[in-house]
Structure 1
Amino acid sequence: MIAPRVRISVYDLDRTITSLPTWTPFLLHAARAVAPWRLAALPVVGLVALSRTDRDRRKELMHRLILGPTLGTAAATRLAEDFATRLTRDHIRPGARAQIAADRAEGRRIVIATAAHAFYARAIADRLGVADLVATRAKRDAAGDITPMLDGPNCYGAAKRAMLERWLADAGIAREDAHIRFQSDHVSDAPSFAWADEPIAVNPHARLRALARARGWPIVDWGG
């Protein structure tokens, strides 16, 4: 007897589930709450964000400029909880809520895979009732405080696919035993789209819309 395939739905977070990106809004939220004087660094942060520096290093530099050299666990938790409450109240796409509910009703395992830092993305996932999270990790110091350095790759592009493959293996699920639906708004997720059984472009930007049309992938609008 052939075992039934494990049905998995993977969601990107920024601009797929949410109507706006989360990293810069989280940094601004944190600075206003704990160190408003760091907002003076915003022009430099903007230059870093627009620079050609490696994406991972950009994230580390932006973190250091706005959050400083360390962020205590208690402070990080408090900031993440408050940010997630506001974000999920005001900036979740209606279609994302509906699709997550539909997937849950079908018995699908739901995963959020995101370049957002896990220390705040976890709070967002919790509010959406999603247990499985694949996200960028921050390195912690000897005291357990969060530093600007990444602990592993930024969960973006090809690295996101590799991290999803690792998650699947860690979950004890063979790829051939899984049916994977992957949903994202951005062409940077092309490696994960190619890996999925059912790729879906959600509110795609121009380059992903063109790729989806060329590959025959469904294109959906989940609203603002």
Structure 2
Amino acid sequence: MKLALFDLDHTLLPIDSDHSWGVFTTELGWNDPVVFAQRNDDFYAHYQAGTLDIHDYVRFATQAARERGAAAAARAHDRYMDEVIRPRITTEALALVRSHQQAGDTVMIVTATNEFVTRPIAQAFGVHELIAVELERDASGWITGEIQGTPSFREGKVTRVAQWLAQQGLSWDDVEMSFYSDSMNDLPLLEKAHHPVATNPDARLRQLATERGWRILELFQE
């Protein structure tokens, strides 16, 4: 099996979908604009530095939606897709995904952003296989703010892909894998890939990719 794995934020999208969802809900009046913006930016800086506590972040990032409830959150996400995400899905990113699909590869998005934010985005790209941070749900089926299982973040992406392979009756030896990512946070999975592609890479990943002779892809100008 040929696998084409894609990180999402700053790889297929020129924005961070989790961060921008927080900005969007603040614009809706769901958050204190000053306090939320500061914490949102702080968490994003920790992500970039590789020091993010993913559990704390998911509690923070889902709080507004949890408090508003499932119906209001779904309506807001529909607007978010129309106003924020779809205008930023580039023809170049779509063409890259389609090229792998047309080659017969199994295409998957593997992201550290949670499933609530990202599943509709994966669908907009025409990608049916999504590994994202899975959210724990209460008896009513609504999210609690906790993470279910292993978060798909840093080494957790390797774990989650291995779990997916096992569900298909496969191991790493049964696949030829390409992985596209912008971030040094994804180094564990990039090192597992047969074809690592540093895509719109951050400074640290660009340097490493250059040293190792990995392909560097500039998919769009941010």
TM-score (normalised: structure 1): 0.86
1:122 Cα deviation from its structure 2 partner: 0.6
TM-aligned CA distance change 1:82 to 1:172, over 3 Å: farther
Find the partner of 2:142 among 137, 145, 154.
145
Which deviations, in whole Å up to 9, do the C-alpha atoms of 1:153-183 show, x marking residues without a partner? Answer: 3321101111111112112333222111100
State the match for 1:107 in structure 2.
Answer: 104
- The reply on whether 1:211 has 2:202 as its aligned counterpart is no
State the match for 1:3 in structure 2.
Answer: none
Contact 2:26–2:36 at 8 Å: present in 1 too? no
State the match for 1:41 in structure 2.
Answer: 35
Contact 1:181–1:196 at 8 Å: present in 2 too? yes
Find the partner of 2:14 among 13, 19, 35.
19
Q: 5 Å matches for 1:121-160?
A: 121-160=118-157
Find the residue that maps to 1:60 and give its secondary structure. helix
Percent identity over paired residues: 27
1:137 Cα deviation from its structure 2 partner: 1.5
The count of aligned residue pairs is 216
1:48 Cα deviation from its structure 2 partner: 5.0
Contact 1:160–1:192 at 8 Å: present in 2 too? yes
Q: 5 Å matches for 1:155-170?
A: 155-170=152-167
Alpha-carbon distance in 2 for matches of 1:138, 1:74: 17
Contact 2:8–2:111 at 8 Å: present in 1 too? yes
1:41 Cα deviation from its structure 2 partner: 3.2
What is the aligned-residue RMSD (CA, Å)? 2.2
- The reply on whether 1:29 has 2:24 as its aligned counterpart is yes
The residue type equivalent to 1:183 in the other structure is Y
Contact 1:56–1:153 at 8 Å: present in 2 too? no
Find the residue that maps to 2:136 and give its secondary structure. strand
Contact 1:12–1:183 at 8 Å: present in 2 too? yes
Find the residue that maps to 1:107 and give its secondary structure. coil
State the match for 2:53 in structure 1.
Answer: 54
Find the residue that maps to 1:115 and give its secondary structure. strand
Unpaired segments ≥5 residues, structure 1: 1-5
The residue type equivalent to 1:209 in the other structure is R
Find the residue that maps to 2:113 and give its secondary structure. strand
TM-aligned CA distance change 1:114 to 1:71, over 3 Å: farther
Alpha-carbon distance in 1 for matches of 2:26, 2:203: 33
Find the residue that maps to 2:177 and give its secondary structure. strand
Alpha-carbon distance in 2 for matches of 1:130, 1:43: 31
Alpha-carbon distance in 2 for matches of 1:43, 1:137: 24
Alpha-carbon distance in 1 for matches of 2:117, 2:40: 21
1:8 Cα deviation from its structure 2 partner: 1.0
Alpha-carbon distance in 2 for matches of 1:94, 1:53: 31
The residue type equivalent to 2:36 in the other structure is L
1:40 Cα deviation from its structure 2 partner: 5.0
Contact 1:115–1:135 at 8 Å: present in 2 too? yes
Which deviations, in whole Å up to 9, do the C-alpha atoms of 1:49-78 show, x marking residues without a partner? Answer: 2566623213323433xx165453333333
Contact 1:17–1:96 at 8 Å: present in 2 too? yes
State the match for 1:92 in structure 2.
Answer: 89
- The reply on whether 1:63 has 2:62 as its aligned counterpart is yes
**Which has the higher Rg, Structure 1 or Structure 2?**
1
Alpha-carbon distance in 1 for matches of 2:184, 2:37: 28
Contact 2:150–2:159 at 8 Å: present in 1 too? no
